[in-house]
């Protein structure tokens, strides 16, 4: 297992190195640089100002040299300075990473807690009333745009009922209860937006598993339906869901943009989006690299989960 | 066994009661706290340092916690906030003089308010003035624009409060010193050197709650980056004591969420300069107008169409005039914006003291527009599109920022009205990032580009109209004359406007500049944008200014109704 993990870690580092260059180059290709934006915004900005600031920020150098400078600093632990937040990049990303982990982590856990039993219930009685109800709810959740869900949630629970704050996060020093109040709506909306997809995957996977020969054999041996499902079918049915979760790990990490925007929740999705639009090269680069890293991490965790769920697999199969 | 059953209905009823009664009570307890004002804005300042990153959100917050030496007041006149008197040629506190190299320069006398102190008790003195000048003109500091600081050749310090600036040129708008953003020498000088890293070390970002950085009615006490800024009264403020014990400026970037937060009582008001667009405000007023004060303040935001004058079709001034006659701007203003955004006949706002109202105006007259196009060699051709003698169709692109609902609506009306005249307009919009970052700033648009200019009162439009300000690759795309407009007469008028300060002669120059603009039409004027302020009915004293110096410059006047 150690050899497997070491190999995967090396592969991840290699992918990250390649991605760092690609992302840096792509950001460099975007129209305008920070100084161009200053020129457009400030009528007193002269060509001398532009030249002075481009030289000061190293923007007058070729892309490869700039990337080399960045990489050297990054390997030394200095990921640069965020122009949008006037802070070192890691200082900006740290709290936002924690906020996203909280938002996405709890939402993912809740989604799975709902999706797995609902998917099993629907698959266990296909085309029954329960199945139709679950499917209907899933399609409603999948088709409702997250920004609309967020707005409706704010209008109902904040404006009409006054139960929860309409957005933002609890200020520093606030009580845990206040923190929970602020988190309920964004977590709820993100959960609603993702639970439908997971439930559909779970249902499809369980349906397929329940048609397998070993399930028929288990039933023929006189096992109860519950034991067949939870003792034999569930582990097999979870395999495709694990793949889906692993693949969506990076998206979940950086893609809660709409929820974060609507609830003024300071997370990674919004930070990456603002950094790209605001020409904050350093912040955008590190944010996107972190999203890449999370996707890679998700895949490694998925591989480990496959072995845990399916006794036919072991780590040696991955080794050369 | 029956007694051990889980009482789900009762439990749900208890939970519902808790949520329905206790939570709203908690929320309302906060909402009705009138000593605290929560303001919603849609952008967060990237820094609180007064000389880095010019942005409205920063000006809005900083105006509560620090005061500029001069600003424009509500009547759009220059006024002192930190000085005692404005320099004046008539009083000899402003004087013409020769620079050391023999050019025409100026000497300007200022005196800082002797009562002024930083929030830690250190007096505000000429030491701060000298330090600010050093920071501003240092080539490695990275301030947005060092132009003002470079124009100051030297500073004579007379005592702790009085000083004279020696400028490298004469100028008629010599009285204002708004861009000279005073910095606390006793705090910032310790982190200034090396200058190239100053931005990373400034206390405005590293220790923004340091009271010594602020000297307004309020001081910043807490910054939650990206989320909110908390301000509390500055006990050492020498002016009128402010009413609110705490002001929180919260950033909610999505305007729909901003409105929802207002309705939920999480914020008390939405600022105009960085809040809702006019259509959103009009829609809000229809539904909730009775519960709030909705104020529309037209101002110095000039919506217009920049013309690519290197386009052979649009380089003909007759075509440009016909285009303007062919659109009903009054109807656009009334039907799309309920008349809150007045039609512009030039780039100078009628509220500005230098406005000239008797210049050429282009009212809606489609038959006149058609006649002008015929005369310009564009008769109506097959398919309802005009063509010239070579068979070239009268067509061009109309661009603006994708996703800006107001602009896109106006764009569709323009396209439709010009279509009736036989002009084929293709709408080609781009995200703001691309539109401003590349297409406009590098003069890559080939037809018309719709966007807005935000200027100061009595601002000489040199950067947008002088031929020296045409952005090119050679000048690193500096300047804002994106149309490529070059007119010797306009250049001379703009040059003279900076130098001829005698009131009558200066007024005539303003008239000439506005007349030339209306005759040449380097840009097609549309309307002046209005900012919409949504305030609670209990708040009074907020007076929107319409220019770039926000109402928070007079935040100590804000109070609540009895």
Q: Which residues of A touch B399 (CB under 8 A)?
A: none
Q: Check residue B263 and give its pLDDT.
A: 92
Q: Check residue B3 and give its pLDDT.
A: 43
Q: Read off the pLDDT band of B28 (50, 70, 90).
A: very low
| Minimal Cβ distance to A39: which of B260, B455, B477 | B477
pLDDT of residue B29 exceeding 50, the answer is no
HSE of B69, CA atoms in CB hemisphere, 13 A: 26
Give yes or no for A44 touching B (CB within 8 A): yes
The architecture that CATH gives domain B67-189 is Alpha-Beta Complex (3.90)
Q: Check residue A295 and give its pLDDT.
A: 84
Whether residues B257 and A151 touch (CB distance < 8 A) is answered with yes
Whether residues B23 and A31 touch (CB distance < 8 A) is answered with no
Q: State the DSSP H helix or E strand holding residue B270, giving kind and residue range, or none if neither.
A: strand B269-270
CA distance B262 to B251: 12
Task: Tell me if residue B302 falls in helix, strand or coil.
Answer: strand
Torsion of CA B257, B262, B267, B270, to 10 degrees: 90
Q: For A244-283, b where at least 16 C-beta lie within 10 A, e where not — what string? A: bbbebbbbbbbbbbbbbbbbbbbbbbbbbbbbbebbbbbb
Q: Which residues of A touch B264 (CB under 8 A)?
A: 154, 158-159, 162, 165-166
Range in B372-381, B441-450, B453-462, B485-494 with the lowest mean pLDDT: B453-462
pLDDT of residue B15 exceeding 70, the answer is no
Q: Check residue B22 and give its pLDDT.
A: 57
The predicted-structure confidence for A254-313, as pLDDT tens digits, reads as follows: 657 888 888 888 888 888 888 887 778 889 899 989 888 888 888 888 888 887 777 777
Whether residues A164 and B227 touch (CB distance < 8 A) is answered with no
Tell me chain A's radius of gyration from C-alpha atoms: 24
Q: Which residues of A touch B144 (CB under 8 A)?
A: 38, 42, 45, 49
Q: Check residue B6 and give its pLDDT.
A: 45
Torsion of CA A145, A150, A156, A159, to 10 degrees: -140
pLDDT of residue B39 exceeding 80, the answer is yes
pLDDT of residue B541 exceeding 90, the answer is yes
Look over chain B and give the mean of its residue pLDDT values, rounded to a whole number: 90
Which residue reads 């506005």 in tokens?
A: B514
Q: Read off the pLDDT band of A37 (50, 70, 90).
A: low
Domain boundaries, chain B: 67-189, 299-529
Q: Which residues contact A182 (CB under 8 A, 6 or more apart)?
A: A164, A165, A167, A168, A169, A170
Q: Which two tokens stand for residue A117?
A: 């039993």
Q: A172 to chain B: nearest residue by CA?
A: B224
Within B236-316, where are the H helices? 255-263, 278-288
pLDDT of residue A318 exceeding 60, the answer is no
Q: Check residue B95 and give its pLDDT.
A: 94
Q: Check residue A40 and give its pLDDT.
A: 65
ipTM over 0.85? The verdict is no
CA distance A175 to A183: 13
Q: Check residue B479 and give its pLDDT.
A: 82
Cis peptide before B194, with omega less than 30 degrees from 0? yes
On whether the pTM is more than 0.95, the answer is no
Q: Which two tokens stand for residue B124?
A: 């505000």
CA distance B377 to B386: 9
- The predicted model gives A50-76 an average pLDDT of 83
- Of B456, B418, B416, nearest in space to B319 by CA: B418
The predicted-structure confidence for A115-156, as pLDDT tens digits, reads as follows: 999 999 999 988 899 999 999 999 998 898 888 899 899 989
Give yes or no for A50 touching B (CB within 8 A): yes
Q: Which of A33, A34, A46, A279 is the best residue to mutate to test the B interface, defined by the most B CB atoms within 10 Å of its own CB?
A: A46
CA distance A268 to A290: 9
Residue B71 β-bridge partners = B79
Q: Which residues contact B163 (CB under 8 A, 6 or more apart)?
A: B109, B110, B111, B126, B129, B155, B156, B157
CATH number belonging to domain A91-245+257-268: 1.10.3720.10
Whether residues B478 and A164 touch (CB distance < 8 A) is answered with no
Whether residues A162 and B28 touch (CB distance < 8 A) is answered with yes
Q: Which residues contact B435 (CB under 8 A, 6 or more apart)?
A: B399, B400, B401, B402, B429, B449, B451
- The predicted model gives B166-193 an average pLDDT of 92
pLDDT of residue B1 exceeding 50, the answer is no
Residues of chain B above pLDDT 70, percent? 94
The predicted-structure confidence for B490-522, as pLDDT tens digits, reads as follows: 999 999 998 888 889 999 999 999 999 999 999
Q: A53 to chain B: nearest residue by CA?
A: B142
- The predicted model gives B24-29 an average pLDDT of 49
Contact B458, B354 (CB under 8 A): yes
Q: Read off the pLDDT band of B21 (50, 70, 90).
A: low
Q: Which residues of A touch B464 (CB under 8 A)?
A: 43
Between these two residues, A319 and A52, which has the higher pLDDT value?
A52
Q: State the DSSP H helix or E strand holding residue B519, giving kind and residue range, or none if neither.
A: helix B503-520
Q: Residues 54 to 113 of A: which have CB under 8 A from any B CB?
A: 54, 56-57, 81, 83-88, 92, 96
Q: Check residue A320 and give its pLDDT.
A: 45
Whether residues A45 and B144 touch (CB distance < 8 A) is answered with yes
Give yes or no for A223 touching B (CB within 8 A): no
- Please, what is the Cα angle at A155 between A153 and A158, to 5 degrees? 85
- The predicted model gives A179-187 an average pLDDT of 91
The predicted-structure confidence for B214-248, as pLDDT tens digits, reads as follows: 999 999 999 988 889 999 999 999 999 999 999 99
Whether residues B437 and A52 touch (CB distance < 8 A) is answered with no
Q: Which two tokens stand for residue A55?
A: 């030289």
Q: Which of B46, B148, B291 is the best residue to mutate to test the A interface, defined by the most A CB atoms within 10 Å of its own CB?
A: B46
Q: Distance from B1 to chain A by nearest Cα, in Å?
A: 26
Q: Check residue B60 and give its pLDDT.
A: 93
CA distance B325 to B526: 12
Residue B322, sorted as left (phi over 0), alpha (psi -120 to 50) or beta, turns out to be alpha
Q: Distance from B380 to chain A by nearest Cα, in Å?
A: 39
Q: Read off the pLDDT band of B4 (50, 70, 90).
A: very low
Q: Which residues contact A221 (CB under 8 A, 6 or more apart)?
A: none
The predicted-structure confidence for B363-373, as pLDDT tens digits, reads as follows: 999 999 999 99
Q: Which of B22, B228, B266, B453 is the best residue to mutate to test the A interface, defined by the most A CB atoms within 10 Å of its own CB?
A: B266
Whether residues A36 and B257 touch (CB distance < 8 A) is answered with no
Under CATH, what is the fold of the domain B299-529?
Dipeptide-binding Protein; domain 3 (3.10.105)
Whether residues A279 and B260 touch (CB distance < 8 A) is answered with no
- The predicted model gives A53-68 an average pLDDT of 82
Rounded to whole angstroms, what are the CA distances from A66 to A28, B16, B140, B465? 10, 58, 19, 36
């Amino acid at each position: 297992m150690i050899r497997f993990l070491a190999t995967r870690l090396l592969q991840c580092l290699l992918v990250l190195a390649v991605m760092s260059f690609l992302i840096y180059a792509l950001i460099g290709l975007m129209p305008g640089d920070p100084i161009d934006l200053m020129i457009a915004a400030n009528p007193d900005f002269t060509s001398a100002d532009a030249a002075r600031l481009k030289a000061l920020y190293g923007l007058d150098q070729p892309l490869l040299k700039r990337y080399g400078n960045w990489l050297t600093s990054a390997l030394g632990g200095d990921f640069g300075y965020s122009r949008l937040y006037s802070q070192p990049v890691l200082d900006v990303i740290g709290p936002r990473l924690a906020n996203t982990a909280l938002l996405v982590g709890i939402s993912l856990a809740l989604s799975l807690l709902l999706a797995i039993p609902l998917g099993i219930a629907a698959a266990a009685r296909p085309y029954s009333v329960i199945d139709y109800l679950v499917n209907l709810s899933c399609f409603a959740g999948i088709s409702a745009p997250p920004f609309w869900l967020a707005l409706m949630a704010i209008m109902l629970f904040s404006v009409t009922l006054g139960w929860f704050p309409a957005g933002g996060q609890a200020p520093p020093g606030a009580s845990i209860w206040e923190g929970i109040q602020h988190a309920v709506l964004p977590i709820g909306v993100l959960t609603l937006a993702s639970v439908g997809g997971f439930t559909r995957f779970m249902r499809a996977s369980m349906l397929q598993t329940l048609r397998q020969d070993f399930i028929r054999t288990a039933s023929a041996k006189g096992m109860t339906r519950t034991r067949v499902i939870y003792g034999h079918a569930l582990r097999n049915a979870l395999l495709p869901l694990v793949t889906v979760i692993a693949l969506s790990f990076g998206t979940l990490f950086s893609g809660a943009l709409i929820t974060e925007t609507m609830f003024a929740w300071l997370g990674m999705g919004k930070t990456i989006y603002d950094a790209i639009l605001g020409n904050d090269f350093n912040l955008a680069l590190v944010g996107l690299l972190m999203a890449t890293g999370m996707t890679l991490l998700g895949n490694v965790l998925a591989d480990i989960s496959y072995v845990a769920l399916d006794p036919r697999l072991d780590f040696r199969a991955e080794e050369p | 066994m029956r007694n051990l059953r889980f009482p789900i209905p009762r439990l749900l009823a208890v939970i519902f009661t808790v949520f329905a009664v206790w939570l709203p009570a908690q929320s309302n307890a906060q909402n009705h706290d009138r000593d605290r004002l929560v303001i919603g804005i849609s952008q967060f300042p990237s820094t609180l340092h007064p000389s880095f990153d010019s942005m409205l959100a920063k000006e809005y917050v900083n105006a509560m916690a620090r005061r500029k030496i001069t600003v424009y007041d509500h009547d759009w006149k220059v006024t002192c906030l930190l000085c005692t008197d404005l320099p004046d040629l008539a009083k000899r506190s402003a004087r013409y003089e020769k620079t050391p190299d023999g050019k025409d320069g100026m000497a300007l006398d200022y005196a800082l308010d002797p009562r002024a102190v930083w929030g830690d008790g250190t007096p505000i003195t000429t030491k701060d003035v000298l330090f600010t000048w050093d920071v501003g003109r240092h080539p490695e500091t990275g301030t947005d624009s060092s132009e003002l600081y470079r124009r100051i050749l030297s500073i004579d310090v007379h005592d702790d409060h009085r000083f004279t600036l020696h400028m490298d040129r004469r100028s008629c708008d010599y009285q204002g010193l708004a861009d000279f953003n005073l910095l606390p020498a006793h705090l910032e000088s310790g982190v200034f050197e090396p200058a190239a890293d100053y931005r990373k070390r400034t206390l405005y970002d590293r220790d923004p709650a340091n009271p010594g950085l602020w000297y307004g009615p309020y001081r910043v006490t807490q910054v939650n980056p990206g989320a909110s800024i908390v301000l509390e009264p500055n006990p050492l403020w020498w002016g009128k004591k402010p009413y609110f014990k705490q002001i929180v400026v919260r950033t909610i970037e999505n305007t729909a969420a901003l409105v929802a937060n207002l309705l939920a009582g999480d914020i008390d008001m939405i600022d105009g300069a960085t809040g809702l667009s006019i259509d959103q405000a009009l829609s809000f007023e229809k539904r909730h107008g009775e519960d709030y004060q909705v104020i529309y303040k037209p101002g110095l935001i000039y919506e217009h169409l920049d013309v690519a004058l290197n386009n052979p079709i649009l380089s003909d001034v007759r075509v440009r005039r016909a285009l303007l006659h062919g659109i009903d701007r009054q109807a656009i203003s009334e039907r799309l914006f309920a008349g809150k955004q007045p039609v512009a006949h030039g780039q100078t706002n009628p509220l500005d003291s230098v406005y000239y109202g008797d210049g050429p105006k282009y009212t809606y007259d489609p038959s006149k527009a058609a006649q002008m196009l015929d005369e310009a060699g564009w008769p109506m051709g097959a398919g309802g599109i005009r063509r010239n003698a070579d068979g070239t169709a009268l067509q061009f692109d109309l661009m603006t920022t994708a996703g800006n609902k107001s602009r896109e609506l106006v764009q569709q009306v323009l396209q439709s009205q010009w279509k009736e005249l036989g002009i084929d307009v293709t709408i080609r919009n781009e995200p703001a990032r691309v539109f401003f970052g590349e297409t406009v700033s590098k003069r890559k648009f080939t037809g018309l580009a719709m966007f807005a200019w935000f200027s100061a009162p009595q601002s000489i439009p040199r950067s947008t109209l002088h031929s020296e300000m045409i952005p090119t690759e050679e000048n690193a795309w500096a300047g804002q004359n994106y149309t490529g407009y070059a007119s010797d007469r306009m250049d001379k008028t703009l040059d003279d406007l900076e130098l001829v300060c005698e009131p009558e002669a200066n007024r005539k120059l303003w008239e000439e500049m506005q007349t030339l603009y209306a005759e040449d039409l380097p840009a097609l004027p549309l309307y002046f944008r209005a900012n919409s302020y949504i305030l609670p009915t209990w708040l009074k004293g907020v007076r929107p200014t319409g220019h770039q110096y926000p109402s928070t410059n007079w935040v100590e006047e804000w109070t609540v109704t009895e």
